[in-house]
Amino acid sequence: MRYTILPILLLAFTSCRNDSSNTATSQVDTASYLYMGDSIATQAQKILLENVLTAIQLHGEVGAVDFCNEKALPITQQTAAVYQASITRLSDKNRNPANAITSEMDMAAWEKLQGLMTEGGASKKHFIAQENDGVYYYKAIMLGAPTCLSCHGEKGKDIAAETWAQLQMKYPQDKAYNYRLGQLRGMWKIKLPATPEKQG
């Protein structure tokens, strides 16, 4: 539902623009991009969480590891297709090698989010990066729920032995454990769709 409204909202904002160097207008742009990115990240997070909780209920934690292994990336890509965005989850302590932080742009974004984390307060830990090839949205992924600990928490304490064995089998280079609640676990990197105006 919401994604049909978003482009219209964005169009409504950007159609006010008469001069792209106008700072007041670019603030409106930033606000609408933040809104759009946040909506996409929230939706993708919701779908992933629902799926992992269902997988745990149906197959237990070990089965849910298999589920994440096979489905986390495709599910994220499905959400991306719906929004015509490109969505990835990256981390400095990644589990899937595909989710490593490698580019300079992503390293800078990660540092910026780490800085935002120390600021405290209830404000959202996210921002927009304008690049030559488009507009990117970055958002902190917190280790926000106790459920996360059963696969990302302390080895030998939060993570059950069988779950650990399964994780090791699927991800021999796993770095995504020994987290505590409230820590920065990773980040969303979303390349936002071009607005209709920009496409034309």
**Region binding ligand HEC by CB under 6 A among candidate stretches 7-15, 102-110, 136-144, 192-200:** 136-144
- What are the CA-CA distances from residue 10 to residues 3, 50, 61 (Å)? 11, 28, 40
Q: Tell me if 96 contacts ligand HEC by CB under 6 A.
A: yes
b/e burial code for range 53-73 (CB count within 10 A of at least 16 → b): eebbeeeebbebbebbbebbb
Identity of the residue, 62 or 128, whose beta carbon is nearer to ligand HEC in the bound complex: 62
Closest CA to 124 of 31, 48, 51, 47: 31
Identity of the residue, 85 or 141, whose beta carbon is nearer to ligand HEC in the bound complex: 141
Q: Tell me if 183 contacts ligand HEC by CB under 6 A.
A: no
For residues 99, 104, 139, 31, the Cα torsion angle rounded to the nearest 10 degrees is -140
Identity of the residue, 14 or 99, whose beta carbon is nearer to ligand HEC in the bound complex: 99
Give just the sign of the alpha carbon dihedral 192, 110, 92, 144.
negative
**Region binding ligand HEC by CB under 6 A among candidate stretches 9-17, 59-67, 113-121, 123-131:** 59-67
Q: Look at the block and give the residue holding tokens 């927009």.
A: 128
Q: Tell me if 152 contacts ligand HEC by CB under 6 A.
A: yes
Q: Look at the block and give the residue holding tokens 């926000």.
A: 144
- In the complex, the smallest distance separating the C-beta of residue 147 from ligand HEC, rounded to whole angstroms, is 5
Q: Tell me if 191 contacts ligand HEC by CB under 6 A.
A: no
Closest CA to 191 of 37, 30, 5: 37
Q: Tell me if 40 contacts ligand HEC by CB under 6 A.
A: no
8 Å CB contact between 158 and 150: yes
Q: Report the residue from 10, 36, 143, 190 that binds ligand HEC according to the rule CB under 6 A.
A: 143
Total residues interacting with ligand HEC, rule: CB under 6 A:
28
Rule CB under 6 A: which residues touch ligand HEC?
A: 49, 52, 56, 61, 64-65, 68-69, 72-73, 89, 91, 94-96, 99, 141, 143-145, 147-148, 150-152, 176, 185-186
